[in-house]
Amino acid sequence: MLAVRKVVVVAAVLGFGPLAPVQADIYTLTDDNSTATFKTSGDAYSTLGMNSWTVDGVDHLFQQWFWYRVGDVGGESAIDTLDLVLAGTTDTNFDGDVDTLFLKYEGFGFTTEVRFTLDGGAIDSGASDLAEQITITNTGRQDLDFHFFQYVDFDLNGTGAGDTVEFLNANTVQQHAENAWLSETVVTPAANHHEAADYPYTLNHLNDQSPSTLNDNDFASGDVTWAFQWDFALAPGESFQISKDKQIVVPAPGAALLGMIGLGLVGWVKRQLC
């Protein structure tokens, strides 16, 4: 399941300057010990969306991206099928590296804006943070019955096997591999549905041209993926905003227990002895 990565670094835009029309389809964010790469368009053979998150030289992510559906006729579509009308990067902490990416997609009667902010840890700390804000706005004249999906496929420690994922509640999911932990918290609002599954179960359903509702399965192990689903109505001019945060922790040898306590994973980690 591991993919060949293609990385192009785009020039930094210091501060919060005006965003330019789209000029590239691959963006890389960098902060301290971390980099994250995003591919905003491509062909059927590309891994679209956020397709790497490297912490201290190890890539832990295969794909994270977003799907949507309006109404209950037909299936979901990835947001990259919409028109990307604005895209740009900023250096929000003025350290010379771009750490924030803004994307604005335009559909028929709505827009979807996504902002990613990477906050790396100290070199060799094994820690990294990614904040995400998503805003869907009804720009048309009719109410919209909207369904929005976040799909995630982490390969912790750079491998797509042996991971465990569990939803603790409607707002929090945690994934574990040998000496590596990932946690996502949805700050607001809580999702309506979620799903933990083995690859490629959820991805197949999002791409099968039929309307999907995630099955609320809480636990999976192996080559795991997970997803959130938000269902909401938007009147003309209204917006719906999702705010969430991810953390990766890869403790140094001997510090594993401390990392487990920090992420609230004691009593949850399941080990397999060969």
**Full pLDDT tens readout for the chain, 274 residues:** 433 332 222 333 334 344 555 556 899 999 999 999 999 987 655 689 999 999 999 999 999 999 999 999 999 999 999 999 999 999 999 999 999 999 999 999 999 999 999 999 999 999 999 999 999 999 999 999 999 999 999 999 999 889 999 999 999 999 999 899 999 999 999 999 999 999 999 999 999 999 999 999 999 999 999 999 999 999 999 999 999 999 999 987 654 444 444 444 433 333 333 3
Phi-psi region of 26 (alpha: psi -120 to 50; beta: other; left: phi over 0): beta
- For residue 223 the two structure tokens come to 């080559």
User: Over the stretch 178-207, which tens digit does the pLDDT of each residue have?
Assistant: 899 999 999 999 999 999 999 999 999 999
CA dihedral 93, 251, 39, 21 (to 10 degrees): -10
CA distance 84 to 20: 12
Phi, psi dihedrals of residue 97, rounded to the nearest 5°? -115, 135
Burial class (CB in 10 A: 0-12, 13-18, 19+), 24: middle
**Is the Cβ–Cβ distance between 152 and 225 less than 8 Å?**
yes
**Is the Cβ–Cβ distance between 251 and 182 less than 8 Å?**
no
Amino acid at 125: S
Quick one: three-class SS letters along the chain? CCCCCCCCCCCCCECCCCCCCCCCCEEEEEECCEEEEEECCCCCCCCCEEEEEEECCEECEEEEEEEEEECCCCCCEEHHHCEEEEEEEEECCCCCCCCEEEEEEEECCEEEEEEEEEEECCCCCCEEEEEEEEEEEECCCCCEEEEEEEEEEECHHHCCCCEEEEECCCCEEEEEECCEEEEEEEEECCCCEEEEEECCHHHHHHCCCCCCCCCCCCEEEECEEEEEEEEEEECCCCEEEEEEEEEEECCCCCCHHHHHHHCCCCCCCCCCCC
Q: What is the pLDDT of residue 43?
A: 62
Q: What is the pLDDT of residue 262?
A: 47
pTM: 0.85
Q: What's the first-to-final CA gap in the chain, in angstroms?
A: 23
Using DSSP bridges, classify how beta strands 77-78 and 172-177 pair: parallel, antiparallel or unpaired. unpaired
CA distance 33 to 247: 13
- Largest Cα–Cα separation, the chain: 61
Spatial CA neighbour of 35 closest among 124, 158, 125, 120: 120
Region 26-262: CATH code: 2.70.98.40
